[in-house]
Amino acid sequence: MAETHNSETHNGPDDEGKRDFIHLAAGAAAAGAVGAVAWPLVAQMGKAADTLAAGSIEIDLTKVAEGQQLKMLWRGKPVFVRHRTAAEIAEAENTDISDCPDPQTDDERLVPDNAGNLRPEFLVMVGVCTHFGCVPVGEAGDFDGWYCPCHGSHYDTSGRIRKGPAPTNMAIPPYTYISENVIKVG
């Protein structure tokens, strides 16, 4: 009897290589498809452009006259930028912080400019009382800084709590000097 050779049943080394290639190609195509579907889903979870824009503000310090305060809104909270007078700076620097409920020197509440120098004439704070979140009134209170009319907290010219129920000093937001006269909050 003659032996017939059927090429469809041949399982030689060439067929195994083809099969492995097909499996690898199909796996790579599937991984690419998953990536193509997943990427837009992950990308849409990022912050929107309007959110990123609201996440930081630029403030021109030349707009704040000495002895005046500028109020800006950052992330839904007021930010106070106070251009302090020499007398306000001296009062803040000469305060015995051992008497403060949240002891912090005036220099610790300042951010250095691009040259590494502190500029004590500009105080930047989140203008929210740390007791219950009211907005304090500037140039008021027993320490000539800020006074919170909601529950009677008194802050000094460095924004440190000196009297009243507030547990901590007014917060210093993250900010950097973009140039000599412009800061970026956030």
- Model pLDDT for residues 139-186, shown as the tens digit of each residue: 899 999 999 999 999 999 999 999 999 999 999 999 999 999 999 999
SS3 7: helix
Where do the DSSP E strands lie in 7-136? 57-60, 69-74, 77-83, 122-126
Which among 176, 177, 183, 181 is positioned nearest to 59, based on CA atoms?
183
Mean pLDDT of 75-81: 94
Is the pLDDT at 62 greater than 70, yes or no? Answer: yes
Is the pLDDT at 25 greater than 90, yes or no? Answer: no
- Output the average pLDDT for the chain: 88
Token pair in block for residue 1 = 């009897």
For the domain covering 51-185, report its CATH number: 2.102.10.10
- CA geometry: angle at 173 spanning 57 and 177, to 5°? 60
Token pair in block for residue 151 = 């529950």
- Which residues belong to the active site? 151
Question: What are the sequence ranges of the domains in the chain?
Answer: 11-43, 51-185
